[in-house]
């Protein structure tokens, strides 16, 4: 647009210079009237061109306004995108932090599970040892109970035999 305007202006200047040259060369009135007619024609064309230039300038201003509005909206969108990117970065940092904590918790849990498994193994061994001891103690008790039962039977027989003898003697008297 500016190039066209510059071109038009340069053409107008060329025309003005040509008219100036014509004025110098022509001295007669008739030539002056003809030149004046041409000048008025050129001036009419110039005013027509100025009107068109003004219209083009108005349209350029309108386009510039719209471009400014678009640039503002683009700026707003870029700001929102930057905000979202910042929030995404924050979320990524928090996720990394949570992953680190989860990893730490997994390690601690694994360690505690191994400790508990070790303690369970020890408890199982102790229970097995106590079970074996109980079996041995049960066997010893059973032997003692059998021995006592045999002794009780023997003692009871002696007492019973003695009572029978007493009863027999009482009856013979």
Domain boundaries, the chain: 2-172
Q: Is the pLDDT of residue 68 over 70?
A: yes
User: Which among 56, 2, 62, 6 is positioned nearest to 48, based on CA atoms?
Assistant: 56
Q: Is the pLDDT of residue 106 over 70?
A: yes
Averaged confidence pLDDT in the chain: 83
Q: What are the structure tokens assigned to 152, written together?
A: 């009780």
Report pLDDT for 154: 57
Q: For 75-103, how does the pLDDT look when each residue is reduced to its tens digit (9 = 90+)?
A: 999 999 999 999 999 999 999 999 999 99
Pick the residue with more confidence: 67 or 37?
A: 67
pTM: 0.39
Report pLDDT for 104: 93
User: Which among 12, 83, 82 is positioned nearest to 49, based on CA atoms?
Assistant: 12
For tokens 């039962």, what's the residue?
Answer: 149
CA distance 127 to 112: 22
The residues, ordered by sequence, that sit 6+ positions from 32 with a Cβ below 8 Å of its Cβ are 23, 26
């Amino acid at each position: 647009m500016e190039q066209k305007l510059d071109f038009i202006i340069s053409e107008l200047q060329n025309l003005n210079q040509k008219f100036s040259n014509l004025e110098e060369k022509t001295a007669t009135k008739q030539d002056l009237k003809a030149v004046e007619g041409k000048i008025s024609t050129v001036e009419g064309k110039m005013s027509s061109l100025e009107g068109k230039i003004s219209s083009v300038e108005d349209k350029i201003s309108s386009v510039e306004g719209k471009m400014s509005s678009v640039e503002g909206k683009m700026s707003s969108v870029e700001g929102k995108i930057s905000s979202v990117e910042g929030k995404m970065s924050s979320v990524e940092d928090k996720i990394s932090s949570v992953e680190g904590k989860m990893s730490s918790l997994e390690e601690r849990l694994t360690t505690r599970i191994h400790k508990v498994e070790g303690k369970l193994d020890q408890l199982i061994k102790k229970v097995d040892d106590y079970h074996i001891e109980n079996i041995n103690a049960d066997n010893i008790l059973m032997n003692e109970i059998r021995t006592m039962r045999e002794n009780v039977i023997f003692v009871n027989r002696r007492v019973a035999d003695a009572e029978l003898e007493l009863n027999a003697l009482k009856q013979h008297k």
